[in-house]
Amino acid sequence: MPPGPVVIGVDSSTQSTKALFVDADTGHTLAVGRAPHRVEGTAGARESDPDQWWRALGEAVAAGLKESGVPASAVVGIAVAGQQHGLVVLDRAGRPLRPALLWNDTRSAPQAAALTEALGGPSAWTARTGSVPVAAVTAAKWRWLYENEPATAAAAAGVRLPHDFLTERLAGVAVTDPGDASGTGWYATATGTYDPELLQLIGLEVDLLPQVAPGGAVRAGSLTATAAEALGLPAGIAVAAGTGDNMAAAVGLGLGGSGLLDHPVLSLGTSATVFAATRTRPVSPALSGFAATDGAFLPLACTLNCTLAVDKVAALLGLDREDAAPGGEAVFLPYLDGERTPDLPTAAGLLTGLRHATSGRQLLGAAYEGAVFTALRALDDVLRACGLDPSAPGVADRPLRLIGGGARGRTWVETARRLSGRPVIVPRVAEPVALGAAALALAAATGGDAVGAAAQWGAGSGRALAPVARDTQTWSRIASVLDHAGPGLLGGGR
């Protein structure tokens, strides 16, 4: 029996590319092809060669084709979800002029602060873009490049986000979507367009930017013959406009205009993010007030230090990452790469509360607690941006969906349960970002609704864990340390 239609959802993240092959009718995962990325840089610099993302995409698609056993002719569409905020500058031939500045490159913190002040402060920015510039935001990275590498900035013939770069390689057209564009700092969620005044403030010409498609489900174009040959796929299949990784995760979980709204998600990966889909445009300076890819909005808070920070602590202690115990009196704020929420780009880690009886397992547990605490405290701001009181009945006990690599770790899950006091759902889909991209690919191929397709696939359902009593003692202890430490003790800030 010949196979049914297959779509490919690509998750091009900080560390790797994943190509998810999905049965378009059932949502069943047929295969996942993977290829690693190399990240370079020290002292706040984080860079990657964009061409390696393209090579990794080819390797991941080839691996997925081999693992799935489906003929390439069964594939009807492809979409890319990419790490947000990265700055890719291209020459006239579409070649990168330099390595991409990644979202977690904190060298642009001074430029972010200067841009915030130049427009009139945080409220002026949130009124237009929904977000206040931080080091991660692409606008701050362009200003850093403009000031530190003026020759490169002057030579730029194109400015792209990571997912835009890959989509252009696939379809031969320069296009982005509202979701990923809303993380640049030059796209106004209030108007749904690039903001001319912001572009002038940043020093960027609009002609360098891709066209903004009405939504990520829009068909950006067709797979070119050159890309088809490189990937081993049929020329002419649908290429979606794609979106950013967080927006794709929301689609993959069935969150959005046609699905669940205001259901909080905690993603435990290289960074930790908390977000929820809502029809209310977020305007809180404490958050990234992103657009979703389908016309809704995606208020989001992001921390830089999550699984990598905890793994670093485990390595320093010579422990397995699961060999942890509750921190006891120890408090560890694992801001090993600075921090974004709270906005402390030059912060360092802080360890306090040590006793003779403190064990290595407790120190590791304290690192988990510090990372989860930082994310959960931002969750209250996300819920407020959705128009909800975080402590109200029916909101405080709303299930928390855990995704990302950490969601497969026992200690991460149990720490989130203990510090949140919420019911927890661990969705059955292991790759929600790639699955969301697959749903976008299907919508591009058929003209359908991506969120509706993902919801029909049932990807947001999974293992449900009952709430446990909230550990208010640990929560209060960490909050007291963070609130009293201040930027000076933490190593800096704005």
**Could you give the residue numbers annotated as active site?**
245
- Within 8 A by CB and 6+ apart from 365, the residues are 324, 325, 326, 327, 328, 411, 415
DSSP string for residues in 446-490: HS--HHHHHHHHTTT-EEEE------HHHHHHHHHHHHHHHHHHH
Helix (H, G, I), strand (E, B) or coil at 267: strand
Angle, in degrees to the nearest 10, between helices 50-68 and 162-171: 60
As a residue count, the chain comes to 494
* One-letter-per-residue 3-state SS of 408-421: HCHHHHHHHHHHHC
**CB hemisphere CA count around 347 (13 angstroms):** 27
The residue written with tokens 């988990």 in the block is 368
Which neighbouring-strand residues pair with 87?
101
CB atoms within 10 A of CB 262: 18
Sign of CA dihedral 456, 459, 465, 467: negative
* CA-to-CA dists, residue 181 to 52, 107, 128, 209, 292, angstroms: 23, 21, 13, 10, 10
* CA-to-CA dists, residue 10 to 187, 214, 239, angstroms: 24, 20, 11
How far is residue 440's CA from residue 217's CA, in Å, rounded to a whole number? 5
Closest CA to 33 of 4, 64, 9: 64
DSSP summary character for residue 281: P
